[in-house]
Each structure stands twice: as C-alpha cells, then as structure tokens.
Structure 1
Amino acid sequence: MKINTKHYYVSLFLILTAFGCKTNEKEGETAVIKEEKEIKKSVKPIVISTWNHGVAANDEAWKILSKGGNALDAVEQGVRVTEADPKNQSVGIGGFPDREGNVTLDACIMDHNSNCGAVSFLQHIKHPISVARKVMEETPHVMLTGQGALQFALDQGFEKENLLTPETKKAYEEWLQKSNYKPVINIENHDTISMLALDEDGNISGACTTSGAAWKMHGRVGDSPIIGAGLFLDNEVGAAAATGLGEAVIRTAGSAMVVELMRQGKSPAEACKEIVERIYNKHKNHKDMEYLQVGFIALNKNGEYGGYSLRSGFNYAVNDIEKGNRLEDAPFKMAWEN
C-alpha cells in the first residue's frame, strides 16, 4: 500500500501536538523534540518567620516539623516563644502599651483547611495565639475581641497576668513626657512575629501575633488579627503574612493579595514585591508615609519562599532541611536612614 507522505506527516504532527511535543520538519524528515517542563523539587518541611526573633521561634517550630508533626502545631508553638519573651517589646508579655498604659494584644491563626481564629484588643493573657486557636476550634466564630476575648480565654483555662514589665512601664512613663505618636522604623529591628510553615504532608498553616503599635490609641487594632490582611493562606497555592504599619496593610488586603498573585503564577518574592509597590503607590502622598514600613513574607506549595519590604532593615528567618535555620535580609524598595 502506498503511503501519502504528506498526509503521514500531518497526522504525526497532530498526534505529537496532542501529547505536548514539538516537531521540526526539515527536508522530508521529522525530528521529534519533547517539550521539557521544569519540575521543581518540593522543599518540605520548611518554616519562615519575620524578624530576627524568628530564629528562636523557628527552632521551636522545627522540633515539631522535623518529626513529621503538622504545620498548625508548629506555628502556634513557634510564635509562643516570642510571646513569652519579655525582652521583645512588640509581642506578648513586655509589649509596649497603648496611650493609657495598657498592653493589648492581637493574634490570628489559620490552618490548611482555611479554618481560622483570631483575638483582638486582648488584655492580661500572655499567649493570644493559643486563645486564637481556641476560638478557631471551640467556637462558631473567627474573631473575639476585648472583654469578650478575655472572658473566653479565662473560661478556657488561661491565666490572667500583668503584661506590663518594669522596662516597658519605664518606657511608657518617658513617652508620657512628650506624648508624641510617631512609630520609629526598624530602630529595634522588630515588629510583630508572623510565621508560615509547610509540613511533610504538604499542608500549610500560618500564625501572626503582636502587641501592636506602641503608644496607640486605646482600642486600636492593626492588621495582625485580620485574616486577609496580616495573614492569609490557600493550601492549594501558598501563604503570606505581613509586618509593619497595620493600617497600610489593611487598606490593601495585603496578605490575601500576595497569595492571589502566587495563584496567578508569580513566585513568593515577586508577589511580595508587587504588593509592597502597590502599598507605596497608594501611600506615597499619605500622612503616614514619613514613618511607613511594611514587609511581607510568602511561602508556596513547593517550599519556595521570599520576602520584600518598603524600606531597608527588614529581615526574616528560614529553617529547612537543606540549609538549616538562618536569617535573611529582605530586598526593599527604599533605603532608610535612622
């Protein structure tokens, strides 16, 4: 049977195209070039958290992740280390108080099933992140606030204690002499702790906890307890978390937008950079701009991570099986000099 060569090659081309291959026909010969798709090796487990205090927090989270534990337990236990450190004056016990001398705390937590819990304007409880997890697991709600959050925490067995340390009390008394509200950028290189983790099962969880802006108005709540602002994740895509001036993050739904950009194919680093630049463009003529600092961290399902900040000085801690626990400086849009 005589074969029609032209028809043969056309048929072969269609078959190969259907299977994702490329063809190159030259002088009656068909060379089949298989389309190579880059397969990225998944790095897991991995944990990433904001600022230099994230190193100690990562160590605690790694104790769980390295033994096959789940990401939710890891992020909760990790940030509890920072909450319990009185030397850290932006999270938990020893956090700077508001204008009335009260330490008020915000926190949220989210798991791979999109379950989430949060507390805001919580006083007298050292570990708001654990109260937030209880809100997630024991109530039909996402957020409890103020006196209601405190009463819930006490009902759940948390102990009431004084969170104002002698050091922060002294700092408050000194602040009262001028009563000037002007957040200082990066002076002590800490603000909030946000943590994201990917466990061996490929599931992501995140946590965020803070005492908020020093000398804030009584009742002020920032981005840290707000799902979609201070923290957001989609287990099919990845997770993101924020640090810095919460008002700017809230105005742009920062963390949710970072995740959506990763869904569209951007890397964690690219997504963080784009949202920081968006924040800059929306705030460059804003009254907050003179003291505005915002940073994001992000982690995707492959264990790829990244971070970016508006001004210099932001760093984050990363711990994985390949390189261990280390601190990395985030790229930034603007230099900052104290």
Structure 2
Amino acid sequence: MKRRNFIKAAGIAGAGAGLLPGSLNLNAATFRKEKKPTPICIATWNFHEASKTAGELLYKGTSALDAVEQGVRIEEANLKNTTVGNGGAPDRDGNVTLDACIMAPSGDCGSVVYLKEIEHPVSVARKVMEETPHVMLAGEGALQFAIQQGFQQKNLFTKESEKAWKEWLKDKEYKPIINIENHDTIGMLCLDDKGDIAGACTTSGLAYKMNGRIGDSPIIGAGLYLDNEIGGAVATGMGEVIMKSVGSFLIVELMRQGKSPQEACEIAVQRIIKQNPNYKDFQAAFIALSKNGEIGSYCIHEGFSYVKFQDRKNTNTPSKSYL
C-alpha cells in the first residue's frame, strides 16, 4: 500500500475508533437499545388494578403519558387506599391535602402540592404541564387553577379517615410505621410500544403530618425522574430522606453512566443509609425502568414490593432489601 493511501486508511480507522463508547464517553445504556421492548408498566407496592389499567392501555397502543395518568387515577379514586387521593389520611389538623406530579417523554413535567378538594391531582398536574408555563402550583393557587380547568371540588375526608384521625388524636404519636401504608404513595412508570417512557407519582403524604408538609412525591428529581433516552425511576417511603438524596434523579444519572437499574437503585438506597444513621427507623424504596425494559428495585427494609404488567399479565415481586 502506498504511504498516502496507508495514512488515509489509518485516518478512517482512527475515526471509526473514535465512535467507540469509551472515546465519546457514551454510556452502556445507549448501546442496549437495539431490541425494542414490549410495553411495560411498573408501580410501587401491589397496586394491581392501577398497573392492569395502565398496562392494558399500553397494549391497545395508548401513549405512555396517557397510560400512566389513567393508571394512578385508579388509586386516587380508591377509598380503601388511605395514602392516595380520595379518602387519604389527613394532616394532624384534619386537612386532606394531596401532592402529585407527572413527567412526559419530552422531559416536560407538571406538579401540584397541598391541593385540597380535588380527587385527581395527577390530572391537575398534567394540566399544569400542558396549559401553563410553570412546573408546580401550590395550595389555593393550585385549587383555583383546577377549578378553572373544569375539575369539580369534592370532600375527600371520608368517615373512615375521620374515625382513624380522631383515634390518632388520643396519643398523637408522630412516627412512621415501616411498610404500613400510612406514608406511602403510588409511583408508576410506563414504556409504550413506541419506546417512549412516562411517569407519575400521587399521594396524600405522611399520615397526620404537620399542616403544610410536602414530601418527595411531587418533586421532580426526588419522587420521580426520567430521561427518555435512558429510563426512569420513582420512589416511595419517607419523603424527607428521598428529597435530601434527590434519589430518582440520581438513579437515572447512574443508569446514564452504564449502571443497570438494579445497581442504580442499590447505590441510591446505600447513599441514604450513609447519610442517615437512624435508617433502621424508616423505609425508603425505589423502582427503576430502563429504555430496553430492564427493571430494578431496592429498599432499606424487607416488605416492599412492586407490581409489573407485561405480556398482558400482572406480577408482584418482592424487592431486594438492605436489611
């Protein structure tokens, strides 16, 4: 080979080498998307009907964003669920206040906090995302906006919740009970047949919380975060420690660096444990979903689980735990 042609060939080879993952600092997740996954819905805990609703919509060709909204609305309307929506446990002053957020494949997001008298805060959060230049609305402003958007006011304080609250007032013990649903939420991630991912979180927050308290669930990056090129994560448990670690954002960034969803969830929980010497006193848990359909889950205490709808069936899986 002539020297000129040899140099030219070597230059082409060098350019090709520059496209390797390490040379462009690309992550392993970028190179794991060759196979298109089937639609998947995952959600915290065993919210069977919620995941089934979202999953069946996905198999009908519904977008991930529409599916995730309709899925969590099931629990917002479930009076037997005292941690989400209608019938949610009140704060210590007897106010039922709701928090929710939603995030689209585009990266757009919406959130409402301290919302009263509206059964479906996740749908109000979506309206915030789509109809305003803002990300979050709070309290009276969120309620006013919801009414303007056509949502109907409703008394969310059921007789059952009121009875339990009055019983709590006798001792006023302000301590979360691990894996008892007085402080948990539904977080959901959906991957549709186009390969797009969306997520939502909705909750009534810590039972008998201080008036005005907001947890991690409506905070983008804490209770929920996703990147449509990488995947998403949602959290449940003690919101304060999840907020301080910005856990969901951390998991997605770890996945961007090439960690599997499982590895990323474990690192996020271990960081919380390192930051909080009293970690045995509370639960914190994450689930994550990558763009190619890989799932991860990890928590501090055993007892947490997640539900998955795939191949037209629901399965509930106990999470791996630190303790």
TM norm structure 1: 0.85
Instruction: Look up the match of 1:108.
Output: 101
Instruction: Look up the match of 2:5.
Output: none
Conservation of the 8 A alpha-carbon contact between 2:89 and 2:96: yes
Partner of 1:274, secondary structure, is: helix
- 1:16 is displaced (CA, Å) by 8.7
Match of 1:302 among 265, 279, 292: 292
Matched letter for residue 284 of structure 2: V
Q: Structure 2 matches for 1:1-338, cutoff 5 A?
A: 41-53=35-47, 55-188=48-181, 191-284=184-277, 286=278, 289-321=279-311, 324-334=313-323
Partner of 2:164, secondary structure, is: helix
Instruction: Look up the match of 2:20.
Output: none
Distance 1:111 1:174, change over 3 A: same
Partner of 2:300, secondary structure, is: strand
* Structure 1 residue runs without a partner (length 5+): 4-11, 21-36
Q: Which has the larger radius of gyration?
A: 1
Once the two structures are overlaid, the 10-residue window that deviates more, 261-270 or 186-195, is 186-195
- 1:305 is displaced (CA, Å) by 0.9
Partner of 1:135, secondary structure, is: helix
- 1:43 is displaced (CA, Å) by 2.0
The CA RMSD over aligned residues, in Å, is: 2.3
- Give distance in 2, aligned partners of 1:120 and 1:206: 17
- 1:291 is displaced (CA, Å) by 2.8
> What are the Cα deviations for residues 208-265 of structure 1, in whole angstroms up to 9, with x where unaligned?
0000000100000000000000000011111000000000000010100000000000
Partner of 1:311, secondary structure, is: coil
- Give distance in 2, aligned partners of 1:88 and 1:145: 23
- 1:165 is displaced (CA, Å) by 1.0
> What are the Cα deviations for residues 93-128 of structure 1, in whole angstroms up to 9, with x where unaligned?
111100001111000000011000000000111100
- 1:68 is displaced (CA, Å) by 1.2
Matched letter for residue 331 of structure 1: K
- Give distance in 1, aligned partners of 2:290 and 2:182: 26
Q: How many residues align?
A: 307
Conservation of the 8 A alpha-carbon contact between 1:268 and 1:306: yes
Matched letter for residue 245 of structure 1: M
Matched letter for residue 118 of structure 1: S
Aligned identity (percent) is: 56
- Give distance in 2, aligned partners of 1:106 and 1:15: 55
Conservation of the 8 A alpha-carbon contact between 1:60 and 1:77: yes
- 1:328 is displaced (CA, Å) by 0.5
* Structure 2 residue runs without a partner (length 5+): 2-8, 18-30
Conservation of the 8 A alpha-carbon contact between 1:43 and 1:304: no
Matched letter for residue 270 of structure 1: E
> What are the Cα deviations for residues 110-167 of structure 1, in whole angstroms up to 9, with x where unaligned?
0011000000000111100000000000111000000100111111111111111111
Matched letter for residue 199 of structure 1: D
- Give distance in 2, aligned partners of 1:160 and 1:256: 33
